[in-house]
């Protein structure tokens, strides 16, 4: 809003033109996968705090401002949704993973009535992390040896092959050094936590000898919220204990995290873990480090062998904690949600779930808990402890190498920033400059075009749709009546929904003739392969104007059926 206001002051243009100009240079990145994550405000509150701003600065009535934040602009009782305002004030929208883009298209479907879900104008740029922030000293040494000191400063295409050349012995040496550093830190941190909590000196001293740098170390650290299912591992405590306490294959679990102060359910989940850890048989194998912060997170992702993540799909928009272990040789065991849904292959880690949504079904949670135990018992733990003659777990190291080589460059901030710059920021800057030139002349033209379009749209209609089929093609001919609207202001298309994970078919129909005696009637023709039934296709009319994002900026659409 303020960017539009500044443009108004600079050019004297009205708000509608200023918004049309400035939105081209704005990108809205949505970070939540649930509708409840978007702030909504009572209309009276918006009027109280922004009504004067709307009238005095933007030159519009408060109800016009409120309309920008409503699914139905005419519904005066509907709350003001900040995400809706952001969409209507931007020239592009993106989610933060491939799956999150799909989920967001479903979330925002009501803003684009009658448009197919796969055409809702929300792209995705998957998050990445700043690897130099999260790599350990042993990791930095390894990557510098293999890829050079400036490896994250430019393109990352060569890093995969560079890491593949590292020997098993060198990779395992690096991992054991990182594990040793982490265990030393965890011991000191645990001892300090206990001292602050008032534990006797003998207990704080004993804490300095907990954990084994040679044992398989699992890490689980995040905000404790019910949708993240942090207690999935606790579904069957006796079975978890059996996994942890096998003397031939010891396993240790490092926990950390906080719940929101007002989230009683999240706090209760932490208490369940605390009670479990206090059991004598669990005590040597599980620790919970308090006051989870960035320093603790840094040490965790540098030192654990396996990073566990168990959110309820599709509620994890992206997640980044698992990305941080990649550079450090940690391996992910995660639900197929967020970034892991696009990163996972069997060679780089382990996956939970079937890639579908199951809501909060307790039976599904139980099934996934059993699957998690099975993975640990049958694959993760045996692979870690299967050693060759030099004491190296060769299968484990192979998986670690694949994870580091394939995924670290791909989920680095270097890739993310480059994608944002090339796919969004530079095009947005160019679009803004084009619309802002000559005091917003292009913006004025867009507003005038949109006004004309909305005025004429109710008069648009289809006549007959005829089809001829030969051996190879369907030939569609549609009768289209545009009243006195300029035919170049619209695009007539043939459309078929996507099937079997393919893309939808969008075939422009060409104007071939005008009907005699009917100034507004024209015939449009398109040919498509006869590989799908005629009934899969429908003709439609959508807006067309150079440089305008449809349906993001203008969501009009008319279907033949």
Q: Where a domain ends, among 407, 429, 449?
A: 449
H/E segment holding residue 527 = strand 521-529
pLDDT digits 0-9 by tens, 73-114: 999 999 999 999 999 999 999 999 999 999 999 999 999 999
pLDDT computed for residue 518 by the predictor: 64
Mean pLDDT of 126-136: 98
Contacts of 514 by beta carbon, 8 Å cutoff, 6+ apart: 521, 522, 523
| Interatomic CA distance for residues 501 and 507, integer angstroms | 18
Q: Are residues 213 and 355 in the same domain?
A: yes
pLDDT for 63 equals: 96
Residue 465 pLDDT greater than 90, yes or no: yes
The span from the CA of 467 to the CA of 151, in Å, is 58
Q: State how far the Cα of 106 lies from the Cα of 122, in Å rounded to an integer.
A: 10
Are 27 and 119 part of one and the same domain?
yes
Q: Is the model's pLDDT at 354 over the cut of 80?
A: yes
Q: How many residues does the chain have?
A: 561
pTM, two decimals, is: 0.94
HEC profile for 223-250? Answer: CCCHHHCCCHHHCCHHHHHHHHCCCCCC
Is residue 281 a part of any domain in this protein?
yes
Going 178 to 180 to 183 to 189, the CA torsion angle's sign is negative
| Confidence (pLDDT) at 501 | 80
Could you give the CA distance from residue 194 to residue 188 in angstroms, rounded to a whole number?
A: 10
- The predicted-structure confidence for 204-219, as pLDDT tens digits, reads as follows 999 999 999 999 999 9
Q: For residues 424 and 506, state if they share a domain.
A: no
Summary mean pLDDT of the chain? 96
Q: Which domain holds residue 527?
A: 460-559
Which two three-digit tokens encode residue 37? 């994550």
* Whether 88 and 46 share a structural domain: yes
473-481 and 505-508 strand pairing: unpaired
State whether 200 and 101 are in the same domain. no
Q: Name the domain count of the chain.
A: 3
Q: Are residues 331 and 441 in the same domain?
A: no
pLDDT, tens digit (0-9, with 9 covering 90-100), for 6-47? 999 999 999 999 999 999 999 999 999 999 999 999 999 999
pLDDT cut 90: percent of the chain above it? 96
pLDDT at 315 over 90: yes
- Boundary-marking domain end, from 407, 428, 449: 449
Question: For the residues 149-166, what does the mean pLDDT come to?
Answer: 93
CATH number at residue 232: 3.40.50.2000
Instruction: Identify the H or E element spanning 188.
Output: helix 168-196
pLDDT exceeds 80 at position 65: yes
pLDDT of residue 46: 97
3-state secondary structure 463-509: EEEEEEECCCEEEEEEEEECCCCCHHHEEEEEEECCCCCCCCEEEEC
Instruction: Tell me whether residue 410 is in a domain.
Output: no
Q: DSSP code of 79?
A: P
Residue 310 has pLDDT above 90, yes or no: yes
Whether 214 and 85 share a structural domain: no
Give the residue-averaged pLDDT of 327-354: 98
Residues 443 and 345 in one domain: no
Contact, 147 vs 337, CB < 8 A? no
Q: 203 and 183: one domain? A: yes
Summarised one tens digit per residue, pLDDT across range 469-520 is 998 999 999 999 999 999 999 999 999 999 988 889 999 999 999 987 766 7
The two structure tokens encoding residue 42: 């009572």
- pLDDT (tens digit per residue) in 509-561: 999 999 877 667 999 999 999 999 999 999 999 999 999 999 999 999 999 99
Could you read off the pLDDT of 243-298 as tens digits, one per residue? 999 999 999 999 999 999 999 999 999 999 999 999 999 999 999 999 999 999 99
- 98 and 180 fall within a common domain: no
CATH at 491:
2.60.40.10
Residues 475 and 330 in one domain: no
Q: Are residues 202 and 278 in the same domain?
A: yes
Q: What tokens were used for 148?
A: 């050079």
Tell me the chain's radius of gyration from C-alpha atoms. Answer: 29
pLDDT > 70: percent of the chain: 100
Domain boundary among 352, 369, 390: 390
């Amino acid at each position: 809003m303020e960017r539009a206001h500044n443009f108004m002051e600079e050019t004297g243009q009205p708000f509608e033109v200023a918004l049309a100009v400035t939105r081209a240079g704005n990108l809205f990145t949505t970070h939540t996968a649930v509708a409840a994550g978007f702030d909504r405000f009572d209309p009276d509150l918006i009027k109280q705090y922004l009504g004067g701003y709307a009238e005095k600065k933007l030159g519009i009535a408060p109800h016009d401002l409120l309309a920008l934040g409503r699914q139905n602009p005419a519904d005066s009782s509907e709350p003001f949704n900040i995400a809706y305002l952001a969409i209507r004030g931007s020239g592009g929208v993106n989610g933060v993973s491939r799956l999150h883009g799909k989920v967001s298209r479903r979330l925002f479907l009501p803003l684009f009535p009658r448009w197919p879900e796969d055409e809702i104008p929300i792209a995705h740029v998957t998050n990445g992390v700043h690897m130099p922030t999260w790599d350990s000293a042993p990791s930095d040494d390894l990557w510098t040896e293999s890829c050079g000191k400036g490896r994250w400063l430019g393109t990352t295409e060569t890093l995969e092959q560079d890491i593949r050349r590292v020997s098993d012995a060198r990779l395992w040496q690096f991992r054991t050094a990182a594990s040793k550093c982490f265990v030393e830190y965890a011991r000191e941190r645990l001892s300090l936590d206990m001292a602050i909590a008032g534990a006797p000196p003998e207990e704080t001293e004993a804490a300095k000898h907990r954990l084994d740098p040679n044992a398989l170390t699992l890490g689980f650290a995040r905000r404790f919220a019910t949708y993240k299912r942090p207690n999935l591992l606790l579904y069957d405590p006796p079975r978890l204990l059996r996994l942890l306490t096998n003397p031939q294959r010891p396993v240790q679990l490092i926990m950390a995290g906080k719940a929101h102060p007002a989230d009683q359910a999240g706090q209760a989940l932490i208490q369940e873990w605390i009670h479990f850890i206090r059991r004598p048989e669990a005590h040597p194998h599980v620790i919970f480090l308090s006051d989870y912060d960035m320093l603790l997170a840094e040490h965790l992702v540098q030192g654990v062998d396996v990073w566990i993540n168990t959110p309820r799909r599709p509620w994890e928009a992206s997640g980044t904690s698992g990305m941080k272990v990649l550079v450090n040789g940690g391996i992910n065991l995660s639900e197929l949600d967020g970034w892991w849904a696009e990163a996972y292959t069997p060679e780089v880690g382990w996956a939970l779930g079937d890639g579908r949504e199951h809501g909060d079904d307790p039976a599904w949670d139980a099934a996934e808990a059993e699957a998690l135990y099975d993975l640990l018992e049958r694959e993760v733990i045996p692979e870690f402890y299967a050693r060759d003659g030099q004491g190296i777990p060769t299968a484990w190291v192979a998986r670690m190498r694949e994870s580091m080589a394939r995924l670290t460059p791909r989920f680095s901030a270097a890739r993310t920033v480059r994608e944002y710059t090339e796919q969004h920021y530079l095009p947005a800057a160019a679009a803004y400059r084009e619309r802002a030139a000559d005091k917003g002349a292009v913006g004025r033209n867009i507003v005038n075009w949109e006004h004309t379009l909305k005025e004429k749209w109710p008069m648009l209609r289809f006549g007959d749709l005829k089809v001829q089929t030969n051996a190879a093609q369907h030939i569609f001919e549609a009768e289209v009546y545009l009243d006195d609207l300029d035919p170049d202001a619209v695009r007539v298309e043939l459309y078929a929904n996507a099937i079997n994970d393919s893309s939808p078919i969008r075939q422009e129909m060409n104007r071939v003739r005008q009907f005699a005696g009917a100034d507004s009637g024209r015939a449009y023709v398109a040919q498509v392969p006869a590989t799908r039934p005629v009934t899969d296709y429908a003709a439609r009319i959508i807006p067309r104007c150079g440089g305008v994002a449809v349906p993001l900026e203008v969501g009009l659409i008319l279907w033949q059926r």
